[in-house]
Structure 1
Amino acid sequence: MLLALVSSDGIAGAGAKLGMSPSATSHALRALETALGTELVDRNAPGMALTYTGKQVLPHVRDVFASLQLAQATALAGAELRTGLLRLGSFGASATIRVLPPLLERFKARYPGVEVVVTEKPDEQTSQDLVERRLELAALTLPKRDFDTQTLAVDELVAVLPSRHPLARLETVPLKAMTSEPFILTRAGSQALVTRLFEKNGLRPQTSYELVQLMSILELVASGKGISILARLALPQYYEGVVLRPIVPGASRRIGLACLDESRLSPVARAFWQEARRYQASLKRSPA
């Protein structure tokens, strides 16, 4: 109101700018002066003039108004997703390297002003980050009954063998045949799935190594130190000295996007969630 008054020739003019009647404007001015405990307008001066205190207050009013405009512009930009920050969790290489990149590329093309930060931790820790609201969205192994989820990909376990190993000549590798060789067990995202596969079939591997780093496993396999079972999507397309073969019986896992409550996502997280749905729909429409 004060800014409208100083840029007008009187109460009526200021009211017109604000869409108020002269009477309502006068009452609003009185209420403002009462709240501040001092007069802001010199009513004895010709035209519209501020009192000494009014002149002292005016720069602060302008600062507040400018800050309010900036806040409104920032909020509007965020609502329209011209800017924003999305922290996205990932349980491991399968999601980080193979599943998320095409989705992130589509999202960045649609919302170039939104910054996306991907944080990779083990599946359990990433799930806990969702529960404790350090993240809104994360790529996790499914099922996750405590979360709203949507499937992004299906990953299968494969035998990881030295290229000159006798089992590498087979089109599919019997799981039982993998129990007579030194075995390298992953301690990363697919560990539980690999362990369950052996247990389900009443088998026990001859575990010689338990390793977290994928490259360490591949190097040991390539050098003939053992064989392994890993999730296909976590593996590079080619690694010298290593071949991949399907396992019989096999096992697979679903990789999905998860959140605590789909209906309560922030605008930027909701946009990513919806983009994931559009992406999956486009894959289903694509010819096989």
Structure 2
Amino acid sequence: MNRLLVLETIIQLKSFTKAAETLGYTQSSVSQMMAALEKEFGIQILKRSRNGVSLTPEGEELYPYIVQALRQYQALEERAASLKGLDKGTVRIGAITSVSCYWLPPLFKAFQEKYPNIEFVLQQGDFGMILDWLKRGEIDFGLMTSEYGDGFNKVVLHETEMKVFLPSHHPLAELDEVPIEKLQDDPFILVEGGGYSEPLAAFEKAGAHADVRYRIQDDYTIMAMVEADLGIGILSELVDSRTDFDVVAKSVVPAVKRPVAVVYREKETLPIASQYFIDFLVKHQKELQ
């Protein structure tokens, strides 16, 4: 199992040297472990290039099964630990930026006060990336919209409002609420959703059209672009709670909502620590704002 862990670390860091440093091995021992693993499987798993270490085509085929084996072993270890209390474990989460920035830090802190030896691994991405990580077994669960991604279990935690962000001098900034059809004339900066977009769905439902000029993944980059008068954007209300940008946020009519959910495969197969943290999220969902 150690060799599989080393392989996963090499792929994440794209380097034998960095993997050895991270795991506390010598580079020579890491190379020997990978050579032994390739000999055991009878195929070449890794290749080196100027861009670092990556998987061969055969390695790509095997890697999802390797990740699954690691997670199952992790679940086994944590199940054993759970018999004497949740003493250790790792929670692997994929989340959209607004949730990872505004909700998760205080929740991590509160959970670790109860379970101090639990570790968190957080990956930020769009909806498509989170679903892909779930399918590959790279995360235990995702925090994203419940409106996208068939075939997964979903528990809605909170419905957040999405607001239109405008330059402070914009004529629509004087309105209390902005009709969505009035947003058609401005260049639109779209949050890249990886296959789904609440704002575009809202435009379509209203029979309106967004003039998309930019597709950006980062909320703060979008606010900087709005401040620079490059266009307007519709973002989660969470983003408006901490910003120094010279922009204004207004509700859209009809309202644009995002039901944020915990998204996972089968809860019973998840590591114990992740099962506990999902229950913790559900228990504290009324505190989310």
User: 1:263 maps to which residue?
Assistant: 268
Residues 126 and 217 of structure 2 are in contact (CA less than 8 Å); yes or no, is this contact kept in structure 1? no
Deviation >6 Å, runs of 4+: none
Question: Is 1:153 equivalent to 2:162 in the alignment?
Answer: no
Compared with structure 1, are the counterparts of its residues 126 and 240 closer, same or farther at alpha carbon in structure 2 (3 Å cutoff)?
Answer: closer
- With normalisation by structure 1, the TM-score equals 0.66
User: 1:89 maps to which residue?
Assistant: 94
Compared with structure 1, are the counterparts of its residues 251 and 257 closer, same or farther at alpha carbon in structure 2 (3 Å cutoff)?
Answer: same
Structure 1 counterpart of 2:139, from 135, 138, 143:
135
Q: Distance in 2 between matches of 1:216 and 1:173?
A: 22
Structure 2: unaligned runs, 5 residues or longer = 1-76
Residue 76 (structure 1) shift? 3.8
Residues 93 and 123 of structure 2 are in contact (CA less than 8 Å); yes or no, is this contact kept in structure 1? yes
Residue 81 (structure 1) shift? 1.7
AA in 2 matched with 1:130: L
Residue 231 (structure 1) shift? 1.9
Alpha-carbon RMSD across the aligned residues, in angstroms, is 2.8
Structure 2 counterpart of 1:101, from 78, 98, 105:
105
AA in 2 matched with 1:117: V
Residues 188 and 213 of structure 1 are in contact (CA less than 8 Å); yes or no, is this contact kept in structure 2? no
Structure 1 counterpart of 2:124, from 120, 124, 140:
120
User: 1:181 maps to which residue?
Assistant: 186
Residues 179 and 206 of structure 1 are in contact (CA less than 8 Å); yes or no, is this contact kept in structure 2? yes
Q: Distance in 1 between matches of 2:234 and 2:186?
A: 12
Larger radius of gyration: 1
Please say which of residues 205-214 and 118-127 is displaced more in the overlay: 205-214
Structure 1: unaligned runs, 5 residues or longer = 1-71
Compared with structure 1, are the counterparts of its residues 257 and 95 closer, same or farther at alpha carbon in structure 2 (3 Å cutoff)?
Answer: same
Residue 264 (structure 1) shift? 2.8
Residues 82 and 272 of structure 2 are in contact (CA less than 8 Å); yes or no, is this contact kept in structure 1? no
Please say which of residues 268-277 and 110-119 is displaced more in the overlay: 268-277
Q: Distance in 2 between matches of 1:89 and 1:79?
A: 28
AA in 2 matched with 1:183: F
User: 2:44 maps to which residue?
Assistant: none
User: 1:204 maps to which residue?
Assistant: 209
Q: Distance in 2 between matches of 1:111 and 1:89?
A: 21
Question: Is 1:233 equivalent to 2:238 in the alignment?
Answer: yes
Q: Distance in 2 between matches of 1:257 and 1:119?
A: 14
Compared with structure 1, are the counterparts of its residues 194 and 76 closer, same or farther at alpha carbon in structure 2 (3 Å cutoff)?
Answer: closer
| SS of the residue 1:194 aligns to | helix
Residue 75 (structure 1) shift? 4.5
Q: Distance in 2 between matches of 1:213 and 1:207?
A: 16
Compared with structure 1, are the counterparts of its residues 250 and 276 closer, same or farther at alpha carbon in structure 2 (3 Å cutoff)?
Answer: same
Compared with structure 1, are the counterparts of its residues 122 and 237 closer, same or farther at alpha carbon in structure 2 (3 Å cutoff)?
Answer: same
Residue 215 (structure 1) shift? 2.5
Q: Distance in 1 between matches of 2:84 and 2:271?
A: 9
| SS of the residue 2:162 aligns to | strand
| SS of the residue 1:249 aligns to | strand
| SS of the residue 1:135 aligns to | coil
Residues 223 and 241 of structure 1 are in contact (CA less than 8 Å); yes or no, is this contact kept in structure 2? no
AA in 2 matched with 1:214: D
- With normalisation by structure 2, the TM-score equals 0.65
Compared with structure 1, are the counterparts of its residues 261 and 196 closer, same or farther at alpha carbon in structure 2 (3 Å cutoff)?
Answer: same
User: 1:168 maps to which residue?
Assistant: 173
AA in 1 matched with 2:143: A
Residue 115 (structure 1) shift? 0.8
Q: How many residues align?
A: 212
Q: Distance in 2 between matches of 1:223 and 1:262?
A: 45
Q: Distance in 1 between matches of 2:117 and 2:154?
A: 26
Question: Is 1:278 equivalent to 2:283 in the alignment?
Answer: yes
